[in-house]
Amino acid sequence: MPSQQTEQNNPLLATAYSRARMVAFGGSTMHIRRATVKDYRELIAVDRLARSSRDRKLSLRRAIAEQAAYVLVQRDCLLAYAILRRSFFHRPFVEMLYVAETERRKGYGELLLARLEAKGLQHAEIWTSTNRSNKPMRRLLKKRGFMFTGRVCRLDKGDAELFYCKKRPNKINPPPPGPRLHAHARSDVYQP
């Protein structure tokens, strides 16, 4: 039986995969990859809450150490990050999706989420939650075809936590359209 070629044991394949992970976005290269300790400072600089919250800093450090954090980088500039773990009844769960304040509404959040979905849906489903008051996230989840599954009250006073799930597409759950690139960033090269 031929040995299975993987990214790890075949450098040519690794290069091809790495090229495939580079996407052209607004005429410059954009990269979505796992975060490393080298990204920590920039992550704190991007996330306004992390600057003042010790818990958030710790959670970021832990996510990086556990290889659960992903970053979206354009021209060596970190624009967004996300945390994905199998933390919800052993199911993939997007614990955090964060786009730098100055970079919002440009399509980066959707691109990063689409990448996490591709990872999560290898396990047939992906879950996440957000506050009821978080309209941007709720709209994004709706756009990406996530289904509302229930709410938990009394975590944040007067602001329920809403849970969402997306199943691997089949005849019952058809795939949503791919992420729409915003006009300034349109490219034919993008592959989620």
Ligand X SMILES: CC(C)(COP(=O)(O)OP(=O)(O)OC[C@H]1O[C@@H](n2cnc3c(N)ncnc32)[C@H](O)[C@@H]1OP(=O)(O)O)[C@@H](O)C(=O)NCCC(=O)NCCS
State the residues that interact with ligand X by CB under 6 A.
96-99, 104-110, 130, 134-137, 139-140, 143, 180
Shortest Cβ 13–ligand X spacing (Å):
31
Cβ proximity to ligand X, 121 vs 140, nearer residue: 140
Cβ proximity to ligand X, 41 vs 142, nearer residue: 142
Shortest Cβ 60–ligand X spacing (Å):
13
Shortest Cβ 83–ligand X spacing (Å):
9
Cβ proximity to ligand X, 17 vs 142, nearer residue: 142
Shortest Cβ 2–ligand X spacing (Å):
41
The angle that helices 135-143 and 108-120 make with each other, rounded to 10 degrees, is 60
By Cβ distance, which residue is nearest to ligand X?
109
Cβ proximity to ligand X, 74 vs 130, nearer residue: 130
Please give the C-alpha separations between residue 57 and each of 9, 46, 78, 103, 110, in angstroms, as whole numbers: 35, 12, 17, 21, 24
Give residue for tokens 């500039």: 77
